[in-house]
Structure 1
Amino acid sequence: MSPIEPPLSFNPAGIELDRRQGLTRQLYQALRQRVLDGRLVSGTRLPASRDLAAALAISRNSVVRAYDQLYAEGFIEARVGDGTYVAHLPQNPARGAKLSTKPSTGLSTSLSPGLSTNLSNSVDISNRKVIHSSALERLDRHHLPRPPSGPPRAFRVGVPAFDLFPFEVWAKLNAAFWRRPDLQHLCYGDPAGDWRLRGLIAAYLRSSRGLQCGAEQIVITSGAQQAISLCAQLLVEPGDGVAIENPGYRAAGHAFAIAGANLHGVAVNAEGFDCTALSQLEGCRLAYVTPSHQYPTGVVMSLARRLELLAWAERSDGWIVEDDYDGEYRYSGAPLAPLAALDRSGRVLYVGTFGKVAFPALRLGYLVLPAGLVQAFAQRRAVDVRHSEISTQAVMAEFMAAGHFQRHIRRMRRAASSRRDAVLAGWPRDVAGLGDLPTMTAGLHFMVKVDSLEREEALVAKAEAVDVEVNALSRYWLPGPGVPTDAQAGLVLGFAAVPPAAIAQALARLRQAWAD
C-alpha cells in the first residue's frame, strides 16, 4: 500500500504588496492569478490566515477578506479541521503552462518553493491557434478608417456647419424632456423608432421632397451607416452581386461586402450612374446610388437615368438603396425630388440622416421603406440595438414640431452657400496638373480632377503640411485588377466645416504650398 502523499504547500515569499494600495484586493488578485496560471495547483494547502498575515506583515483581517472572496468565487475551499486548499478546477490549457515568446529549451526551471514546472509544457504564443472565420476575413478587408481627430478644419469632407447649431434651444428641449419624462419613454421602445418623430419626418419629406410616405413606412436608425448596413443584412445573400457607384461611398461598399456581396463598380459619368453597364451585370439584384449629389463627384443623376434605374429594378425584381445624405443643400431652387418619389413598384429604400443638418455625433438617421419591409427591418434592428436612444428621438421630434428644424435648415443652407462662395473667390488658380473648379449647385463638397496619381499624392501631401485636409479621389475607387490609373486622380474637398474667414486663410496657405 503506497503512502499518502502530503499536500503541496504554498510559500508566500513571491508576493509583494504595495502599502499605498488596498492590501486585501492585492492579495486576492495575487492568489487568484497564481491559481489561474498554474503556479498554485489544485490541492495546494494555503497558510492559515494568521500565519499568512504574519509572513506578509499585514493585518489578519486583510487576509480573511481575501480568502473570503476567493472562497466565494470558487478558487479555494475549506476542509473542516484541516485548513484551506486550492479547489479542484477543470484543466485549462493556460493553467500549468508558462507563456513564453521564446522557443522551448527543454530545461527545467524552479518557481517558488514547493511548486515547480517544466519548460517542456511551455506554450509558444506564436503557435497559438488563430480563429478562422469568413466574416472576420471580410471585415479585415472591409472596415472604416478612423475618422479625423480634433475639431473641424478646412476642408474636411462630410461635416456641416455645426458651429451654427442652436445648442441653447436643444439644451432647453432636452432639459424639459428629462425634467418630467413620460414614464413610457423610460421603458423599452419601438425598435422602429418614436412614432411622433417618424410622423414628423414623413411630413417633412412630403413637403420638402415630394416623397409621399407615412410614419408607418419609416424606421429610425443610428445614422445613415446603420440604415445602409440594415439593407445589406436583409437584402443580400452571400455571393449576391451588388452594384455600387465607382468612384463612390466606400463605407457603403464595406457594409455590403461584409454581408457577403460581390461588389460591382459601375461607372459614373456626366448623367450619373451608368444604367447600361448595370443591365449587363449578371446575378445583380441591388444597386446603391447617391442620385441627388453623387458622392464624391457631385454629379446629379439625370431624369432619364433615374427612370432607367427604376425600370431595371422592376424588370430584375431588384432593389435600389438611395442615399440622400445631403439633399437639403441645393443652392438654386428647391431640393430635388428623390428617386423614391418616382418609384411606383416599391423597389426603392430611401436613406436619410440628420447628421448633415445637425452634427454627426447625433447619430440619428432613418429609412423610408416599402410597406412590406418595415416589420422585417424593425425586427432585425431590434436584434442589434433593441431600439434607438429615446431622449434624442423625443427631443428631435419637439425640435421639428416647434419649427426649429426648418429654420435651422434655411440657416444652414445660407451658411453653406456663403462658405462655397468663399472657396470660389479664393481658390488657387493655375496650379500645375489641377483641373478647373466644377459648378457647385448642391451638397457640401466638390471634386477637382488632377492629371496624374503622382500629382494627386503631391498636392495632398503639401496640403497636409500646411494643416489643410484634402482627400485623394483615388481612395474612393473600388479596388480592382491592376494599379489605379491617372484617370482616377483628383481632389475631394468639403467646404462647410469652417467659416468663410477660416476658408480664406486655408486657401492662402494652399496657394503658397501648391505654388511650389
Structure 2
Amino acid sequence: MAAGTLTHLSPLDPKSPEPYYRQIYGRFRNAIASGTLNPGDRIPSARALTQELGLARGTIDAAYGLLAAEGYIQARGQAGTVVSPSLRPRMPVAREQPAPAARPYTPSFRPDSILPFQMGLPALDVFPRKIWARLGARAARAMQPIDMTHPAVPGLPALRAGIAAYLHVSRGIDCAPSQVFLTSGYRHTLELVAQALLKPADRVWFENPGYPPTRELLAAMRLAGVAVPVDAEGLVVAEGLRLAPKARAAVVTPAHQSPLCVSLSLPRRLALLDWARRNQSWIVEDDYDGEYRYASRPLPALKSLDRDGRVIYAGTFSKVLFPSLRLAYLVVPEAQVERFERTQAMFAGGSPQLTQAIVADFIAEGHFARHIQRMRRLYAERRDATRIGLERVLGAKVRIDEQPGGMHLILRLQGRRSDRRLVARMREEGLFAEALTDWAVDRDIAPALMVAFTNVDSTATAERLARRILPLM
C-alpha cells in the first residue's frame, strides 16, 4: 500500500461504541493479517493519517502505539513506518471480534500521555530543561563509589535539608531535616503513614468529592474510609464528627480542595486540629499544589498551625517539577521520627539517589524558588486565557467556577448532560477531561468537567480546543 493512501482500509464508523483508535488499530491489523499489507510495506505517517481522517493526532498515535507494541509495525525514523519485516506474509485472517459494549468511563490516574487539558501535568513546555540537564550531568560526573551503594532510606540528607528550608520560608512549617522523609509518590506516602500510625479497620475521613486514589488506597490497606462532604469552606468537620467522631485519621487538601479548589476556612482548620488533639487522631495534609494561589499570597499550611504534633504534611514534586521524577515527601511530628524511620526501613521504596541529588542542587542554587514564582505568574495568565477562550465558544453550555488557585478549571454543564459520557467522547477525540461525578461517593453532585489549563498557551488555543468539544455536547 502506498504510504499516502488508505485504499485498503474500510471507513471508520462514528456510531460504533469502539473508540476511533481501536477501529484504526483493527483495520491495520486485519489488512496485515489478510496479506493486503505485506512485511516491509510502508504505511502512512501519523501526521498524514491525521490529515486524511480529520482526527486528533493523539488518536492516531494511540492506534500506532498499540500496533507497534504488539509487533505489527516498526518506526524507522526518516524512512517512515513499515509493517514489521519479521512477520510472516499472508497470515490467516484474524476473526473479527464483536465490538465491546460501551463501559462507563473511569478516570486514569494518570495516563502516560500529553493530551489537551490533561490533569496532573505542570507546564512542561516551559520547564528549564537546560538547567536540569546541566545539573544532571554534573551530578553524574561527581558520583563516587559510595554514591553507588544503597541510598539512605529516609532520603538524601542534602535534599531533606533543602526541603525543610524551603517549607520554612514558603509554607510556614518549622521542621528539622530529620522530620522530612522522601517517598516515591502520594501512594507511597499514604502507605507509609498507614504502616506507621494506623491498623486495619481504623476509620479514616476522606473528602467527598475527593481525589479517587485516596479512597481506593484506604480500601486496599483495609482501612475503613468515611466519606465526609465538602462545601464552600472545605471539609465539613461537623459532618465528620457526626459520621465517625472516633476516626483515627483524616486525609484533607486544605489549600486547594481536590477537586473543588476551595480553601479550608480558618474556623474549620481550628476545629479539625481540635478534634485531632482531643481524639489523639492524625491529620494527613495533602498539599499537592498549595504554591499556586492567584487571588493573593499562598495560604500557610495547616501544619503551620499544629501545636500538638497531630499533622503529617505531604508534598510532591510531580505538580511543581514533573511527574516522572516519582519523588514526594512528608513531614512528620518530631515525636514520630523514630517510628517512621523504623517503618520506612522495613517498607523502603524511595527514589534513586542520583535523582534526589539533582533536585537537591536545583533547590540549593535557587532554581526551584524561581521556577515556582515563574509558574505562579504563568498559570495565572493561562488560567485566564483558558477561561476566556472556553467561555467564548461554550458559554451557553457551561458555567466556569471562580477559583482562587489550583491547576484546573471546573466547567459546570448546563442542562441535562452526563459529564461521564462527555468525557468518554472527548477521550475518543484525543482530548482530556475528568468527570466531577467520578470523584463523589454516594452523593448527588451536579455534572461538571475538570480540565487543566497549565499546558494551554493562549486564548486562541483554548478557543480552538473548545470548538472541538462543542459538537460532542
**Taking structure 2 as the reference length, what is the TM-score of the superposition?**
0.73
> Larger C-alpha radius of gyration, 1 or 2?
1
What is the SS of the residue equivalent to 1:327? coil
Q: How many residues are paired up?
A: 366
Q: Displacement of 1:277 after TM fit?
A: 0.8
On the 8 A contact 1:212/1:341 being kept in 2, the answer is yes
Match of 1:193 among 152, 155, 167: 155
Distance 1:271 1:377, change over 3 A: same
Amino acid at match of 2:240: L
On the 8 A contact 1:350/1:369 being kept in 2, the answer is yes
Q: Which residue of 2 aligns with 1:169?
A: 131
CA distance in 1, matches of 2:346, 2:204: 24
Match of 1:222 among 163, 176, 184: 184
Aligned ranges for residues 103-114 of structure 1 at < 5 Å? none
Q: Which has the larger displacement, 352-361 or 436-445?
A: 436-445
CA distance in 2, matches of 1:205, 1:402: 16
Aligned ranges for residues 268-287 of structure 1 at < 5 Å? 268-280=230-242, 281-287=244-250
Q: Displacement of 1:305 after TM fit?
A: 0.7
Q: Which residue of 2 aligns with 1:499?
A: 457
On the 8 A contact 2:182/2:327 being kept in 1, the answer is yes
On the 8 A contact 2:269/2:302 being kept in 1, the answer is yes
Q: Displacement of 1:196 after TM fit?
A: 1.1
On the 8 A contact 1:298/1:447 being kept in 2, the answer is no
Aligned ranges for residues 103-182 of structure 1 at < 5 Å? 145=108, 147-150=110-113, 152-182=114-144
Asked if 1:385 corresponds to 2:358, the answer is no
What is the SS of the residue equivalent to 1:190? coil
Amino acid at match of 1:393: Q
What is the SS of the residue equivalent to 2:330? strand
Q: Displacement of 1:498 after TM fit?
A: 3.8
Q: Which residue of 2 aligns with 1:472?
A: 435
Q: Percent identity?
A: 39
Distance 1:497 1:388, change over 3 A: same
CA distance in 2, matches of 1:377, 1:411: 35
Distance 1:255 1:289, change over 3 A: same
Distance 1:393 1:461, change over 3 A: closer
After superposition, the C-alpha distances for 1:430-487 in whole angstroms (9 at most, x for unaligned) are 9699552111321101223336775323432443354321111111113x4xxx63x3
Distance 1:488 1:237, change over 3 A: farther
Match of 1:490 among 448, 455, 458: 448
What is the SS of the residue equivalent to 1:243? strand
Distance 1:461 1:222, change over 3 A: closer
Aligned ranges for residues 40-439 of structure 1 at < 5 Å? 145=108, 147-150=110-113, 152-280=114-242, 281-385=244-348, 387-428=350-391, 434-439=397-402
Q: Which has the higher contact order (CA 8 A, sep 6+)?
A: 2
Q: Displacement of 1:184 after TM fit?
A: 2.9
CA distance in 1, matches of 2:220, 2:115: 32
CA distance in 2, matches of 1:289, 1:408: 26
CA distance in 2, matches of 1:267, 1:256: 17
Amino acid at match of 2:451: L
What is the SS of the residue equivalent to 2:261? coil
CA distance in 2, matches of 1:274, 1:146: 26
CA distance in 2, matches of 1:183, 1:194: 16
Distance 1:435 1:211, change over 3 A: same
After superposition, the C-alpha distances for 1:302-349 in whole angstroms (9 at most, x for unaligned) are 111101100110011100000000111111332110100000000000
CA distance in 2, matches of 1:165, 1:211: 27
Distance 1:512 1:435, change over 3 A: closer
Amino acid at match of 2:193: C
What is the SS of the residue equivalent to 2:418? helix
Q: Which residue of 2 aligns with 1:128?
A: none
On the 8 A contact 2:107/2:438 being kept in 1, the answer is no
CA distance in 2, matches of 1:334, 1:282: 34
On the 8 A contact 1:329/1:442 being kept in 2, the answer is yes
CA distance in 1, matches of 2:397, 2:191: 36
Q: Displacement of 1:255 after TM fit?
A: 1.8
What is the SS of the residue equivalent to 1:267? strand
Amino acid at match of 1:424: R
On the 8 A contact 1:400/1:406 being kept in 2, the answer is yes
What is the SS of the residue equivalent to 1:436? strand
On the 8 A contact 1:223/1:363 being kept in 2, the answer is yes
CA distance in 1, matches of 2:109, 2:287: 23
Q: Which runs of 5+ in 2 are unaligned?
A: 1-105
Q: Displacement of 1:374 after TM fit?
A: 2.1
On the 8 A contact 1:230/1:380 being kept in 2, the answer is yes
Q: Which runs of 5+ in 1 are unaligned?
A: 1-142
What is the SS of the residue equivalent to 2:347? helix
On the 8 A contact 1:428/1:511 being kept in 2, the answer is no
After superposition, the C-alpha distances for 1:62-88 in whole angstroms (9 at most, x for unaligned) are xxxxxxxxxxxxxxxxxxxxxxxxxxx
CA distance in 2, matches of 1:505, 1:440: 23
On the 8 A contact 1:270/1:299 being kept in 2, the answer is yes
